[in-house]
Amino acid sequence: MYVLTLIVEREATSLDPALVGRVREALGGGEPRVLSAGEAVDLPLVAMPSREAVAAALGGTAVDAIAQPTAGRRKQLLLADMDSTIVTTETLDELAAYAGLKEEIAAITRRSMNGEIDFREALRERVAMLKGLALSALEATWERTEYMQGARELIATMRAHGATTALVSGGFTFFTGRVAAELGFHHHRSNVLLHDGERLTGEVAEPILDRDAKLSSLRELAAGLGIGLAATAAVGDGANDLAMLRAAGLGVAFRAKPVVAAEARAELRHAGLRGVLFAQGYRAEEISA
């Protein structure tokens, strides 16, 4: 009735069969089902294990574990955050480097992503600091932006199996539009940086896409597809992602801030975004490049 998926970062380590055996014995699991040799395995369970029991069985190893009901694992809708999730950086912080303000703005970003300050006010404050920055800085920032390991495979695989994918970010359309086009997202939603044709005005268009808007997007897109929230997945790292992570059938905190990791029902701390596929029961041979 339940399944515990064990996942490692394949570039860093290999899943130890002896560890799988110990976890199986500690939790009373059934015969392991290999999803990807040395990378991911399913353990069937008769009861939902507690976080504490799973953590004790893993013994501090660099292994991610996601427990959930077996039924309905494969989701029909995915919502993904962009910064520090689909791409490796916070694009606003990287943009600020061209104004000589990266450290100052990154400090505000960290507090916002940890839920210490209001996201909307923090966004307005950071954008105001960039007033007068040439639009060429946006292009330069984009050229240095890299995708998170497994991002391309995650979107390609879910699309190949009929799922709808949406990039929903507190960042900016300049970046989400390009990421969506390159990776194949069906939809993208984010904030709009205002400019005069040459330089940023220091303003962001209203309304600002925040945590409430991310949750609303999840509900709206699910309703449009005629599916319940149980058939959805979401992945993100910051406090503004937490509402959609809680609401989604599979809400994955990805290398997340402490406040998010503590409250999300599923977490990937070590593995890349392929882990979101393994959590849905995809096998390695089903993953699209």
Does the annotation count 81 as an active-site position? yes
| 83, 93, 210, 241: the active-site residue | 83
Given 81, 93, 237, 241, which residue is catalytic? 81
Is residue 42 annotated as a catalytic residue, yes or no? no
Q: What's the CA gap between 149 and 262, in Å, rounded?
A: 23
Annotated catalytic residues are: 81, 83
